[in-house]
Amino acid sequence: MLPKILVVDDTAANLVAMRRLLAHSGAELFEARSGNEALALCLDHEFALILLDVNMPDMDGFEVAALLGEAEQLRDTPIIFVTAAYVDDINRLKGYRSGAVDYIAKPINDVILQSKVRVFLELYAARMKLREAMAELAERNEELTREIAERKLIEAMVRHQASHDPLTGLPNRILFRDRLHGAIQRANRHYVRFALACIDIDGFKGVNDSHGHAAGDALLQEIAARLSAHLRSNDTVARLGGDEFALVLEELDDSRTALQLCEKLCAALSEPYSLRVNGEPVEVRVGASIGIAPYRPNGHADVDEQLLQAADHAMYEAKRGGKNRCVLAG
């Protein structure tokens, strides 16, 4: 697209002369016979250069230039004043303060006019290239920002998948170990109590055998939801695999508090489950054997393993004692 030049002069003969002189400038010419007409054109077009007659009725060139300078989108448009008057220092200063970048005296010297116009068209072309480059850079920055955000999202998803059970969305064994280790450190540092609980679902195999693995998966999801709903926000529930779950119960007053919490969980887990399996309703009932091991600091490096073993033994004791019950490790 050709750059645009606006010629402002109230004399028709001067406009014709400018049209002839700039016919081969490589720019599209626009003409205005008054300051108001020039301002209106400037609102509709972006000009590479304005050739502005100083002496015009109603609104002279100084006023037009000053008004153009007040508009943010127009103030960078270069203005060359064209004047038949003697250009003294006072008038030059007034023109420059109004926003002019240069003067051309009448009668116009063809070579000087064409030379100056060529310079400003080259400057305009360079400015347009810079604007395009800046726009491309801004677009690329936006793309990079989106790519970084997408990459962070993917990385977060990968980290989540690596540390969470895909079926239930609960922390998996890896994250559970990390949470358990953190609970031990907090207990040692702040002298607070916590307990580890191991849960094995009673009757889960029967649901799988009677209704299929789809029912078993749906049941595990419901069990995970009940466990999450009945625990406190600072507790951790994890799926270790199969129908085995584990809890980290933090900030406990004593061992009895952990036992009471688990007894409530046991009762909640034994309530009937209404499942949808392949579009069909299925109601099942299961129980839970829960072994609880309160944390007792002993300074050993493998204290988390000892705690897991204690909770696991208590859980098997619950199973041997009739299932669907809680046992506190001795």
Same-domain pairing of 233 and 304? yes
Question: Which of 104, 131, 158 lies at the terminal end of a domain, its last residue?
Answer: 131
The packing angle between helices 110-163 and 12-21, to 10°, is: 70
Same-domain pairing of 307 and 179? yes
CATH number assigned to the domain comprising residue 117: 3.40.50.2300
Distance CA 113, CA 5 (A): 13
Same-domain pairing of 183 and 125? no
CATH number assigned to the domain comprising residue 278: 3.30.70.270
Distance CA 220, CA 324 (A): 16
Same-domain pairing of 40 and 177? no
Same-domain pairing of 125 and 202? no
Question: Which of 131, 164, 195 lies at the terminal end of a domain, its last residue?
Answer: 131
From the list 9, 7, 6, the residue with the least C-alpha distance to 84 is 9
What is the C-alpha radius of gyration for the chain, rounded to an integer number of angstroms? 42
Same-domain pairing of 25 and 82? yes
- Name residue 159's amino acid: R
Instruction: Give how far Cα 212 sits from Cα of 205, 207, 223, Å.
Output: 10, 7, 17
DSSP per position, 89-116: HHHHHHHHHHTEEEEEESSPPHHHHHHH
Total number of domains constituting the chain: 2
Residue 231 lies in a domain: yes
Same-domain pairing of 185 and 301? yes
Residue 156 lies in a domain: no
Q: 3-class SS at 251? A: strand
Question: Which of 98, 131, 164 lies at the terminal end of a domain, its last residue?
Answer: 131
Residue 183: which domain range? 173-328
Q: What is the pLDDT of residue 230?
A: 93
Whether residue 146 contacts residue 265, with contact meaning beta carbons closer than 8 Å, is answered with no
Beta bridge partners of 49: 5
Q: What is the pLDDT of residue 20?
A: 92
Same-domain pairing of 125 and 178? no
Each residue's pLDDT tens digit in the chain (330 positions)?
899 999 999 989 999 999 999 999 999 999 999 989 999 999 899 999 999 988 888 888 888 888 887 877 787 888 888 887 655 555 655 655 655 678 888 888 889 889 889 998 999 899 899 989 999 999 999 999 999 999 999 999 999 999 999 999 999 999 999 999 999 998 888 888 899 999 999 999 999 999 999 999 999 999 999 999 999 999 999 999 999 999 999 989 889 999 999 999 999 999 999 999 888 899 999 999 999 999 977 655 468 888 999 999 999 999 999 999 999 997
Q: What is the pLDDT of residue 218?
A: 95
Distance CA 130, CA 136 (A): 10
Same-domain pairing of 178 and 82? no
Q: What is the pLDDT of residue 8?
A: 92
Same-domain pairing of 8 and 125? yes
The H or E element containing residue 30 is: strand 28-32
Same-domain pairing of 110 and 223? no
What values do phi and psi take at 101, rounded to 5?
A: -105, -15
Same-domain pairing of 124 and 268? no
Count of positions (residues) in the chain = 330
The residues carrying an active-site annotation are 243
